[in-house]
Structures are given as structure tokens and as C-alpha cells.
Structure 1
Amino acid sequence: MNFLYPSFLFGLAAISIPIAIHLFNFRRTRKVYFTNVAFLKNVNTSTSSFRRLKHILILISRIAFITFLVLAFAQPFIPAGQNPEQSALQNKGLTSIYLDNSLSMQNESGKSRNLDVAVDQIEQVLNILPNRPSYQLLTNDFESRDQFVASSDKLKDRLTEINLSNTSRSLDAVYRRQRSLLEKYSSTPQNQLFWFSDFQKSTSGELEKIPLDTLNQYFIVPLQAEERANVFVDSLWLTTPFVKEMESNVLNVRFVNSSAERVDNLPVKLFIDEKQVASSTISLEADTDGIMEFTFTVQDKGFKKGRVSFEDYPVTFDNDYYFVINAAPVINIVHLYQEPRTQYVSSVFGNETVFNVKSFNINNADLAQVKTSDLVVIENLASIDATVRGQLTDFVQAGGSLLIFPGNQPDVNSYGQLLSSLGVRGLARPSVVSSSVNVSPVSYSAADDSPVNTLAPPDMRNPFFESIFENTTQKGMINMPFANPVLEWRNTGTALLQFRNNQPFLSEFGSQQGKTYLVAAPLDTKYSNFPKHALFVPVLYKIAALSKSQERLSYTFQEPTIAVDVNASGSEQVYKLKKENFEVIPSQRKSGNQLVFELPQPGQTTSSEAPESGYYELTLDNKSERILAFNYDKKESDMKTYSPQELQKIFGNKKNVQVYNSVKDGDFAEDFKAKNVGQNLWKYCLLAALFFLLTEIALIRLF
């Protein structure tokens, strides 16, 4: 037997008090006068024996009362196992409890959520352990108020306030957080750490690499759902990223079935501005994914709130996937030309309100407009001076698109200095240039033997030509244009259009930072009939559409930084992110026309609740600048978890780690008590003290 508070045993010295009372009070005598002496002698004999027995019993009762009362304060217990020092009651360090409150804890064990089961089990453990200020509770939110130690009663009150959080943490991050707090507040290296989690494989991290301290005791409590079942949206994208009003488009949605069973005919609905525009069903095999296509049409310009919705139980936090479509955004185009100027560029882009075209003669151009544009079109420049080269290079490297129609007699050196920095190699004049030949269109068939300056049919497998031609099966009968090139280059980029001899006519260079489109012939009918060909308008439209920064349809709360295009100039404006009662000013900076901001971590917002998935307005001076859609991290939707057997295999070789199999119906609390606490005897001591107190009272009153 051991004592939790052995210092209270000094209280046994109080036994001397009833003994002293017995020696000096019970032995006092008094005289009693009776008329019959013989009768008095018989009475004295019987009364003295009885009184002596009574006094001894009272003394024993008082000594037993004090003894068991002192033992109750010292809290004796029979330790579990052979080593009493390993008992949880003997632990002199701190007890750190991690409660996983991520969204996956919404899954159910029986009729209760895993989160509710974990809260109940933690309360039972706190009832077993001593109520002293040596406990610390940690959740995924890493809130500042959870960085201090408290008593078990305060932790019980804290447990009533915990809700699901959209933040997930790896077990390594949790352990590092616990260890830092223990090093700060614990006076001994021996502490107890509890982990209550469903141990998702997608978020837990590499458990084998967690450096567990051998001096601490670890209690791993997996909360396993009865059935692993969930369907969620992995990603979605548009077939045509540039959405125009009154034109049909296709939304592609990839679904993932993380269930152990097949899902049949799951109804899925598509909403645009809260109006259902399409619906269908999807069937998925166990642990597979599939793609569903929705055709839709937007009626006007602006931001459109989209939502993919379905019913999937019991995990419901990911049944709605939100996204935002920016329909027909304005594309800013700067047109730099040199006389003689043609009207082809102005005619193509001037007929659509979606284009904002500004044309400048290169001799008096406002080059500051280049920075704020999406596409720059160069037409008929004989040479490109150093100032223009610097502006165009910075523009492309910042993500802009550049389309070049060379002049009739281009200066290869000045062009080469610009294009070499943009990925174009081997720029030169063709060996033979027909600069004064009028080119007439000729009907072309794929089976014909065409002249060398005839363009070959485009490769319809190239994503650039997607949605340009309605009927790609007749590509062999396309009437292709002719051209006499004034420039040629190595075929290092992507040849969108090329001659029959595989020499490029229109090539695309660049990928992530920006794109450059180079045409081999001038924008002049003396050199090519391309400006009057049916391909000219759709090709320029597609280049303009691709030049617009492809805005993402949705974001997640876990992204470190988010970059969006904004219209306001200057760097002093403060943007806010709002959704109903939720409002936050994120850490932000301006970079050109882009706003780069960071979402605050949990506990850093003025709102009392964590942000929920849905639509958020990015506002400036209480005016909405754009709408953003946020969804929960898809890692939380993958319900694959570590089983208790897998956890035992990972931590099985560590003697200071205990992995529990079940937490249902109080199994964990009872198992923990049997293995680590043992039999606590203080309640029995208290009952014994009360019994002997009542015995003393009965002896005095009744006898």
C-alpha cells in the first residue's frame, strides 16, 4: 500500500489527545453516599467493571476515528503493477491532454460523435486523477488560454466549450506544442501525455518519426468510427476557364469515395446563385474517384456563387463545395504600333465589351499602362529600344502576356535581345523572304501537295484550340492561310500554327510567370492572308482569354497565402474579409494589381467562432471588391485512420506508451484505472472514520 500524500501521516500524532483524555479524565473518582453499605458494595463492583469497559471502547473509537481520518487525507492506495512509482496517482509532473477537435471527429461511434465520446472519457479520467493544478488541455486551435496549467475542475468547464474546428494538426506538431508547455511549467521531466484522436492517416503525419521522451508516460486513445464512410469533392475545374455570358460551359467535378463500400446513384446538384441549374447521379466503387460533368450557362457578367451539393451521412461538413465564377471579366489590352497602322487589332478587340483596348504609337506611348494590362500587342515595330524592352520583359516576368507581330523589315538584334530573355532561341531572318508578293488564299485539302508557305492544320489535341472549332472531325478540309515569314526561330516553344515544313508560324513561350506569342509574318496582307482568315479572330480571342489571370474557383483555410487581382491602386488601402457576422483584417501586401494576404490562424480573430466554409466578400472601405469561396481542407474528408493494431505496431516497442483498443461505454477509463491507478482506499478510510465517530457517540449516549 502507498500514500498519495504521505505528509498527512504526521497527523497520527493527534492520537495522543484521546489517550491523554482517557488517562486524566476517566480515572477521576467521586464519592457516592448510600444508606445500605452491603448494597453499595455490590453496585460498586458491577459499575466499575462496566465503566472500565465503556471507557476502553470509547478510547478505541476515538483513536480509530483519528487514524482513519488522517489516512483519508493521506489517500492510501494499492498501486497497479509491480512498480508503485509508475502509478498515475504518484505522478509529480504535469498531465497534458490533447483533444483532436478536427472536422473528422464528426464521425460517429455508436450514436455519439467521436468528439463527444472523447470529451466524456476525458472527464472520467479527470475524476480518477487528483484534483490539483497540474493539468493542461490542448486542441487543434492552439488557443492562448490553453497554454496554462489548471485544476481538473477548470478543465471540465473548458471541455463544455470545445466545438469542431476546421484546423487539423499533425501529431508531431501537437507533441512539439505539448513538450514546449511542459518544459515551461513542469518542475520534473516525468509527465503524462494523453492523445485523444481518430488518428487520420491524411493528417496525423509520420508517427514513427515522433521523438518521444522516454521519461514521460504516453496514453494513446484512438476513437474509431463503426463504419468508415464518406464521399467528398476533391477538385473542380472549368472546361473553358474564360466564362462568357450566354455561352454554355462545362464544370468538371472530381468526387472521391473514401468508404469501404460502393456508393450507388448518389444524387448531386449544381447551384448558381442559389438556383439549381443541373443535377445528376454518380456511382463510385470503394476507395476510388470519378468525374462528373455539369453543363451550365450564366446570364450576365460578374461574380457568380456556385455550389455542388449532395447528401452523405454521417460526415456532413463536406456535403457542400463552394466556388465562385467571375463571368466575362474585363481584359485590359495595350496595343503598341508603328505607322503604317492597320485596323485588324482594333477591329477584333473593339467589338466586344469584355476587352478594354488602349492603342499607342510607340513614339509617344504611355508605357506605364503596360504594368496594369493583361495583354500587350506589338504591331509593325521595326526595332525595340532598351526602354521598351525593359518594360516588356518585366511585364512578362510578372505574369503578363505578349503578342508580337513583327514589322516588314524587323531589326533582328533588337528583337533578339528582348525575345532571348523570354525563352525564344535562334531568332533570325529567313534565307529567302518574299516581301512584295501578294498572297492569295487557295483551297487546301490534307491530301494536296501544298506550297511551302501554306500553314498546316492545327493540332486539335492542343488545349489551346479547345472550343475554337465545333467540328474537329473535318479538320482535314480546313482552308488554311498562307504566309511569307520575316522571322524564324528554333522550335523550342509550343508551335500553335506551323508551315507544312514544320517551321513555326505562331509559337507560344513561357508557362508560369508569363507567356510570349510570336508570329513569323507581319500583320499585312502583302505577307499573309492570316489577318483576313477565319482563324484570326478566334486565335486572338483565345490569346486574350488566356492572358487574363486564371482566377481560382475556390480556396481552403489551410493555405498559407492567397493572391487575388484587385482594381484599387496604391498600397495604403486595408482590405477586410467578411461573411455575415465574421470579419477579419488579414495580414496583406500589394504587388502590382495583386493583393497577397494571409488568413489568420485559429484564436487570432475577433470572432468567437472559427470561420465556416462558404462565400466571403473582400471589401475595401465597406465596398465589395470581389467574392471568394472557401472550403475545408479535403484531407479532413479522407476517413482512413490508423487502427489500434497499427498504432500498437508503431509504438509497441516503447514501454512508456500505452495504446488502448476501445473507448466505448467507459472501457478506456476503467482500463486506464486498472493499469495505472490501482485501488484507491481514501473513500473507505473516510467511511471507517465516520463509523467510529458514530460508535463513539453511541457509546456515550446509549450506555
Structure 2
Amino acid sequence: MYFKHPEILYALFVLIIPVIIHLFRLQRFEKVSFTNVKLLKQIEQESRKSATLKKWLILLTRLLMLAALILAFAQPFFAKEQNKKNAETYIYLDNSMSMLIKGEKGSLLQSSIKDLIDNFKNKSQKITLITNDKVYKNISVGEELLNIEPTPFQKDLKQVLLQIHSTSGDKNSTGKNILLISDFQGKTGKDLETDSINKYFLIHLKPVKAQNIFIDSIWISNKDNENISLKTRIRNFNTPDKDVNISLYINNVLEGKTSILSKKEESKEVVFTIGNEKNIQGKISIDAPDLQFDNTRFFSFNTPQRTRVLVIGKNDPFLNKIYDDETFTYSHRSLKTLDYSLINNQDLIILNRIEKIGKPLTESLKAYIRQDANLVIIPAVNIDMISYNKLFTVLNLGMIKEKISKKKLITKINYKNPFFKSVFQKQIRNFQYPYTNISYNTKINQGSNLLLYEDQKGFITRKRLSNSNIYWISSPLLSETTNFINSPLIIPVFYNFSLKNLTKEGLYFEIGKDNIFEVSASLKNNEVLHLVNDELDFIPRQEQKYDKVIIRTKDKPSKPGIYQVKKQDQIIKNIAYNYSGFESILQYASAKEITKNNDHVTVYNDLNSAFKHINEQNKTKDLWQLFLIFALIFLIIEILLQRLL
């Protein structure tokens, strides 16, 4: 037997007071003389015995009556051993975007919130509610839960359980009731680690129809001076064949509209042609009815910033030709005319056929490579190997071992390296091999070979340093020493040297991912850049690198749209954010998969069934009414004793 209010039991000590009063309340008899007292003495003894017995019986009934009342107010009950204490209740409510799909009673998210409110209505019990983006600790479930909004962020079950155990407040609790409410889209049972101490209830919500048509991606397929071909892929997941209307908006103006037949489990690409303007902000929308969050994708592209290329050393004609267009700002300096202050403002520096590298240049390149930059080193025919190896040591690049003066063929392209992504449509097995007559045998620390000689040593080797790249070309690029400068490979190779090391900036970023981009801006001491739209204004994580700022985002912004990068009131750049397409693919883990190797989990298809089972398990048998009846019985017994005895 257990008590809801055990502190009231201290009142039982009060029962000692009537006992003490009874013991000290002794009646004294007055003696009266009679001539014949033999009969009276006998009557006196009998009267004393009956009076004493009556008093003890009345005292006992009063004590039992008071004890029964005290026990009734303490509210005794019978319960199972594991339910003798009020277990803490932890609820994980998955509020990811996939929970917006319709179930039997509306969207899975809203129906779950309503069921939670209904089941906890008129209950004083406190719970801890965990969602994908917030924690509500020790709250009374009420109408405020209706303010929970869907979020693009997800948590795996392992994260959820770790958070539950870390926020546990009652150290003396015998166990927790842990409810996991989700459609389990993209989740697996590998992340679910249970134990026998706590009770796990898995509410596996299912949509009426797991089908969706959504915009998978947007990209530029072709571009010239006048027009841009904008492609979008419309994907059908498990939806019967359906006509879908697609609309293109540029700067909030409808610029194009078309319709396609979206077939089940197929993807279809649609092309829009728009004018090649300097700054474009737009969106593409479809009219799919199932899930709404992925019916619109935003995009933006700004006037591209020119890549600044500085060649130090010899100004060979092939370099000028490769970097001679509107994409680049090309400049050349010899060692004698070099202004070292220019180095840190470049995106690509090419050391071209310098015979000896001095200490000032070495120190400047050391500082330059710490920022997001690219460095290409092309040796001269005759180099000062000591000065080169000093530079290699400072840059942690490796060591030049020896000069080799013999013909070597360049026979292999490392197609698997991301450097050559989008360069080749297919692997070329038979091509005219370039050659070199002079090369330097070099050991590069943790480098990856892009082009290889026939002896599998590197002709061009790439060394990554954080967000920077160093490229070592092991042969001087002269017509007398190699025909590589006439090879079709030279243009894509040197063009890719100039690509910035940041994540390739496309038409948009996806919310929840590690996004990084740069803007051209010089900030003073207390100045910061803001990301702004009509609803949000926040300061993203940023880092000043000379005349540019590197911006990183992940959890913010949390809603899709076009955002402006602002320096005070000046708009520097427009950035588009969209939800990830991961939750558009409605593939769910089955209950069998999730509970595999987890014997302590009970699975339900709806929240009401789970609460019914929990209430049954936690059901107790109250005894306070019984003790109240006992108190009345003892009161009646006392009355009868006083009247009949």
C-alpha cells in the first residue's frame, strides 16, 4: 500500500494524546459508612470493572476512528511496484517537414498536437516535450502547443534519447515514460538504444497516401551574352500520373508558365529561357497538392565577381590567353616590380619559372596560403633547389629531390579526383600523350596526383591546406621542354586552378547544411554584415579576409526565400535558401526495422491507443473511501458502547 500524501501520516502521533489523558484521568471514589457493607463492597467491585472496560473500549474506537480519518486524508492506494512513484514523462514530437502530410485527422503534426492536448487536459502532470528545434521542460500541456511550427531540421533517435537522459530532473525516479511520436521518415532502428529501466512507447504515424510531386533542383544548363537556359527537375514519388502546372517568377513577376504530365516514379526536366541580366532573384512553383513545403524553390544569381589572377615571374603567352576574358582580372609582376601588398588580395597566384625564391616572397606566400586561396608553382629549367625547398618546408609541401633530364610521357588522368568533375563526359583511354624533357622528382606530403607520368609519379600534384590549394607542376612549361602547353588539357586544368575553394556557389543553398560563401566587402572595427529579408534580420557567422568576408550559415535562416547580404543599408549580394529535398521522398522505416533488437519498445499506430495503455499500466486502486467507511463504523460503535454499556 502506498500514499499520495504520506506527510499526513505524521498526524498519527497525535493519537498518543487521548491515551495520555485517559491514563491520568483517574476517578476517585468517596467512602460512605454503612452498618452492613458486605453486599455494597461486592457491588462496588463489579461497577469498577465494568466502567474500566467501557472506557477502554470507547478509547479504542475513538483511536481507530481518528486513525482511519488520518489514513483517508493521506489517500492510500494499491499499485504495482514499478508504479509506486510518479514516473517522469518525456515526449519527442517530430515536427519535421514530412509530418505536414495528411493523416486520417488532418496533418500528422497538427493531429498529434491535438491528441497531446486532449490526453493531458485537466491533468496537473508536468512533462518534458522535445521537438527537432526546441525543448519544453516541465510544462503543463496546454493550448500553447498549438504554436509548434514545422522545422527543416531533423534529429535521429540516438540524439533524442541522449537529450532525454541528459535533461532528466528526478534522480530518484524509478523510470521514465518515453514517447517517440514520428512518421520515422529517414530514421532507422540502429539509432534506438533502449533499456529495461524505462518504458518506451513508439507512436508510428502513417499518412493516408505516401505520395508527392516536388521540385528536385534548379540549375543553369546554358548561358550566353543574351540568354540563360534555366532547368528544373520535377520528381514524382509514388503519385499516379498527373498534369502539373509549373510557373517561373523573376523579381516577383510571372515570366513563364508551362504544364507537364508527371508520371509515377519518374523525373522530368523543364527548361525556361530568361534574359541574361546582372542580378536575378526568382522562384519556380508547382501546384502539387500533397506536400506544400516543396512546391516552391527560390534561386538567385548575382553579377559574378572577377577572379583575380597574379602571375609572378615570367609572363608566358599561354597564361595570358587562358585568363583573358571577363571572368578574370589578370596581372603580371616580375620579382623586381612585385608589390608584396598585392599578394593577399589575389584569388590565384602563379609562380612561373622563378629560378630563386627569396625570403620575402616565401613569408608573403606563407601568409597568403592561410586564407582561402590557390597557389600554382611552375619551376624554371634551372632552379635554386635550396630556396625552393625552404618554401616547400614553410608551406609543409614536401621536398624536391632531384632534376631529371629525360623524356617522360604523361599517360594518366586521375578522373576520380573532384578537380576534374564536370571536365570530362567520359573517361578517355587513348589520347595523344603529352611529354616532358625536364622534370623534378618531388615528394609531396599528403598530395593527390591529378596528372601522372608513365612511371606513376605526379606531373601535377594537388595539396589541400584547409580551404586553400597548392598545385605543383613538376616540369617547366616551355615549348622547348614540353608539349603540354599545346595539349587540350591545359585550358581546363588552368581554369580549375582559378576556382575558389569555397563550396561551389550555385543558385541556392539548402537550409540545415553547412553553407559557405564569400562577398567582397571591407569592414571596419565594429561593422558586421547582416542577412535580411522581410521577416528576419540576423548576423551570420563571418570572417574578414582582407577585402572579402567569408560567411557561414547552417541553422539560420530556417525559412526559404531570397535574403540580402547587407552592410548597414547597402545591399551587397542576394542569396537564395530552400528546404532540403530529403524529406520530400516519403520513404518510412517500418516498425519492425525500428524495434529490431529492442525488446523494451511498445509500438502503436496512434497516440490515443498509447495513452490508453499507459493509463492502464499506471492505474491504481484508491482506498481512501474504504478508510472513511471504517471511520464511520468506529463512530457508530462508540455511540452504541456509550448507550448500551
What range is the shorter-chain TM-score in? 0.5 to 0.7
Q: Please give the alpha-carbon distance, in whole angstroms, between the structure 2 residues aligned to 1:205 and 1:635.
A: 19
Q: What is the SS of the residue equivalent to 1:659?
A: strand
Kindly provide the amino acid, as one letter, of the partner of residue 169 in structure 1: K
Kindly provide the amino acid, as one letter, of the partner of residue 590 in structure 1: Q
Query: Is structure 2 residue 597 aligned with structure 1 residue 613?
Result: no
Aligned partner (choices 294, 299, 303) of residue 276 of structure 2: 299
Q: What is the SS of the residue equivalent to 1:123?
A: helix
Q: Please give the alpha-carbon distance, in whole angstroms, between the structure 2 residues aligned to 1:179 and 1:642.
A: 24
1:250-399 equivalences under 5 Å are 257=237, 259=238, 292=269, 299-302=276-279, 304-305=280-281, 307=283, 309-326=285-302, 328-337=304-313, 345-346=319-320, 349=323, 351-392=324-365, 395-396=368-369, 398-399=371-372
Displacement of 1:330:
0.9
Query: Is structure 2 residue 115 aligned with structure 1 residue 121?
Result: yes
Distance 1:78 1:542, change over 3 A: same
Contact 1:427–1:487 (8 Å) recurs in 2: no
Q: Please give the alpha-carbon distance, in whole angstroms, between the structure 1 residues aligned to 2:260 and 2:137.
A: 48
Q: Please give the alpha-carbon distance, in whole angstroms, between the structure 2 residues aligned to 1:8 and 1:466.
A: 77
Aligned partner (choices 386, 393, 405) of residue 431 of structure 1: 405
Distance 1:238 1:520, change over 3 A: farther
Query: Is structure 2 residue 453 aligned with structure 1 residue 516?
Result: no
Kindly indicate which of the two structures has a greater share of residues assigned to strand: 2
Give per-residue Cα distances to partners, 1:632-660, cap 9 Å, x unaligned. Answer: 34443343334445555554x33xx5432
Contact 1:586–1:599 (8 Å) recurs in 2: no
1:394-433 equivalences under 5 Å are 395-396=368-369, 398-407=371-380, 409-418=382-391, 428-431=402-405
Q: Please give the alpha-carbon distance, in whole angstroms, between the structure 1 residues aligned to 2:161 and 2:426.
A: 60
Contact 2:374–2:498 (8 Å) recurs in 1: no
Contact 2:187–2:589 (8 Å) recurs in 1: no
Distance 1:301 1:423, change over 3 A: farther
Aligned partner (choices 183, 197, 202) of residue 220 of structure 1: 202
Contact 1:271–1:306 (8 Å) recurs in 2: yes
Give per-residue Cα distances to partners, 1:40-65, cap 9 Å, x unaligned. Answer: xxxxxxxxxxxxxxxxxxxxxxxxxx
2:537 corresponds in structure 1 to 583
2:36 corresponds in structure 1 to none
Aligned partner (choices 205, 208, 223) of residue 192 of structure 2: 208
Query: Is structure 2 residue 133 aligned with structure 1 residue 141?
Result: yes
Give per-residue Cα distances to partners, 1:157-192, cap 9 Å, x unaligned. Answer: 222322222232233333333334432xx3740465
Displacement of 1:583:
1.3
Q: What is the SS of the residue equivalent to 1:566?
A: strand
Contact 1:424–1:489 (8 Å) recurs in 2: no
Q: What is the SS of the residue equivalent to 2:186?
A: helix
1:99 corresponds in structure 2 to 93
Q: Please give the alpha-carbon distance, in whole angstroms, between the structure 2 residues aligned to 1:142 and 1:470.
A: 46
1:524-539 equivalences under 5 Å are 538=491
Kindly provide the amino acid, as one letter, of the partner of residue 388 in structure 1: L
Contact 1:103–1:165 (8 Å) recurs in 2: yes
Distance 1:377 1:75, change over 3 A: same
Q: Please give the alpha-carbon distance, in whole angstroms, between the structure 2 residues aligned to 1:415 and 1:254.
A: 54
Aligned partner (choices 605, 630, 637) of residue 661 of structure 1: 605
Distance 1:76 1:218, change over 3 A: farther
Displacement of 1:331:
0.6
Q: Please give the alpha-carbon distance, in whole angstroms, between the structure 2 residues aligned to 1:267 and 1:315.
A: 15
- 5+ residue gaps, structure 1, are 12-69, 433-451, 602-609, 684-703
Corresponding residue pairs, total: 556
Contact 1:496–1:508 (8 Å) recurs in 2: yes
Distance 1:468 1:635, change over 3 A: closer
Contact 2:132–2:151 (8 Å) recurs in 1: yes
1:38-187 equivalences under 5 Å are 83-84=79-80, 92-127=86-121, 131-132=123-124, 134-143=126-135, 146-150=136-140, 155-183=141-169, 186=170
Distance 1:537 1:6, change over 3 A: closer
Kindly provide the amino acid, as one letter, of the partner of residue 124 in structure 2: R
RMSD between superposed Cα atoms in Å: 5.2
Q: Please give the alpha-carbon distance, in whole angstroms, between the structure 2 residues aligned to 1:483 and 1:278.
A: 54
Distance 1:263 1:203, change over 3 A: farther
Contact 2:236–2:262 (8 Å) recurs in 1: no
Displacement of 1:117:
1.6
Contact 1:505–1:520 (8 Å) recurs in 2: no
